[in-house]
Amino acid sequence: MEGLSHITFIVRDLEKATMFFERIFDAKGVYSSGDDTFSLSREKFS
């Protein structure tokens, strides 16, 4: 395996999950749908 494209997590608290990934994996936000929903939930990509 050369790499990873993406993984989807469906979470109850998007902001809490974001803080977790930023702290543990040094993730950086690259997109946020805000209040718009294009799928079943709000989206945020890190």
Candidate list 2, 15, 22, 43, residue with the active-site label: 43
Distances (CA, A) of 7 to 4, 29, 45: 8, 14, 10
Active-site residue flag, 22: no
Task: Give the integer Cα–Cα distance in Å for 45 and 30.
Answer: 6
Active site amino acids: 43
